[in-house]
Amino acid sequence: MFFDTDSSAILLLEDGTYFEGLSFGAVGTITGEVVFNTGMTGYQEVITDPSYYGQLITFTYPEIGNTGVNSEDNESSHPSVKGVIARQVSKISSNWRHESSFEKWLKNENVIGICGIDTRALVRHLRETGSLNGIISSDTKSSIAELFSLLQKSPSMSGLNLVNKVTTQSSFKVNSSCPVLFDKRIKNIETNPYQVVAIDFGIKQSILDRLVAHGCEVTVLPANAEISDVLALSPEGVFLSNGPGDPSTVDSGINLAKNLIDYKRLPIFGICLGHQILGLALGGKTFKLSYGHRGLNHPCGLNGKVEITSQNHGFALNSESLNSDKIKITRFNLNDQTVAAISVIDKPFFGVQYHPEASPGPHDADHHFNHFVTLIEERRRIVD
């Protein structure tokens, strides 16, 4: 164990299973849904991804913290997870870009962690039982019975709307003048950018960066935005973002997507929760996966074409609920055949369940951003 601590901690699951380990980060007690991420890199991006709001994240990679943390790699201004579960945590930050150690950062952000447990056994258990609510506590005064009583009050992720916990409270704009990477090779990126409205259900910074990189000027609106708010900005396309919780509970987003579909004039692109909301607005249904897809190497494809993808979701669209006369499933997750991407036949609406912005993760799917701006470009030609 590289982490120097004498503090004890416990992880207790709702089925009574518990793991004893060591405390790191903030000291305290926290409940949430226990999930796991199989990525070998990107712990900072994962922890600050708003899609993880309300969860206790288990990292299957045996040691995290090696590269420290820096402000440039954050996906949001603060960590979104409630707790961190790890096998080993390094107290040494071995990267020239680091601004703080991992442990100090978690302390400052009041994120509770437990390390020194057998994460392989924990993940095997979750794969057999499905994701479970759990409680991490470094409060040595509490008994297991007391912690279990507290845990029983923790709500299930099914039926939980968490979007309002992470969405922006006011609109803001992102464009090529902002301090992000963008590709100046794209024609007219600065003089004639594509005007896009993004609905913030928990949007990642790297998604905004990739939209800007593909020539978009993005106005971000809160999750409760109505179609009048969108149309008042005269957008050329609408983006539906990722986010946490049960997609079927995000009524405002589903209603907005329905109205945009009826409007029929604007290209729509959804990622993760936004993809699910698009599917729900089209009449589909979602269901909770047993333990979700969270990692950087999930193969998705159709008809022999495969891309390796970054994923983070606990719900999925039910393929049988999608009207095949209107909706085309363009990719499946090749591990379990769940719906990974859809498009609307003869309409400029599409969504992907995975994360093409690749932060962290492979860049195989970045072409979806190009497809979005191509749809906007085609609309420009028609309007002109």
pLDDT per residue over 136-173, tens digit each? 999 878 889 999 999 999 999 999 999 999 999 999 99
**184, 144: one domain:** no
Whether residue 135 is contained in a domain is answered as yes
> 272, 293, 300, 368: which one is catalytic?
272
Q: Is 355 a catalytic residue?
A: yes
Q: Is the pLDDT of residue 188 over 60?
A: no
Query: How crowded is residue 231: how many other Cβ atoms within 10 Å of its Cβ?
Result: 16
Domain boundary among 151, 175, 193: 151
**208, 142: one domain:** no
- HSE at residue 110, side-chain half, CA atoms within 13 A, is 4
Band of residue 265 on the pLDDT scale cut at 50, 70, 90: confident
**117, 142: one domain:** yes
Q: Is 357 a catalytic residue?
A: yes
The CATH number of whichever domain residue 181 belongs to comes to 3.40.50.880
Whether residue 88 is contained in a domain is answered as yes
Stated as kind and residue range, the H or E segment containing 43 is helix 43-47
Could you say which DSSP state residue 292 is in? E
**220, 350: one domain:** yes
**92, 175: one domain:** no
**185, 296: one domain:** yes
**144, 168: one domain:** no
Domain boundary among 100, 124, 151: 151
The CATH number of whichever domain residue 96 belongs to comes to 3.50.30.20
How far is 22 from 336, CA to CA, in rounded Å? 35
**109, 37: one domain:** yes
**97, 188: one domain:** no
Domain boundary among 151, 186, 205: 151
Whether residue 2 is contained in a domain is answered as no
> 214, 298, 355, 368: which one is catalytic?
355
Band of residue 375 on the pLDDT scale cut at 50, 70, 90: very high
**146, 171: one domain:** no
- For the chain, how long is the longest CA-to-CA vector? 70
* pLDDT at site 264: 81
Query: How crowded is residue 168: how many other Cβ atoms within 10 Å of its Cβ?
Result: 15
Number of domains in the chain: 2
Whether residue 156 is contained in a domain is answered as no
Amino acid at site 38: T
Q: What is the pLDDT of residues 314-341, one digit of tens each?
A: 999 999 999 999 999 999 999 999 999 9
* pLDDT at site 187: 52
How far is 350 from 370, CA to CA, in rounded Å? 13
| pTM > 0.85: yes or no | yes
**197, 52: one domain:** no
Domain range holding 231? 163-383
Listing from the earlier edge strand, what are the strands of the sheet with 327-333? 172-174, 216-222, 194-200, 237-240, 268-271, 349-352, 339-344, 327-333, 286-302, 305-317
CA-nearest of 141, 140, 161 to 54 is 161
Mapped onto helix, strand or coil, the DSSP state of residue 369 is helix
Whether residue 158 is contained in a domain is answered as no
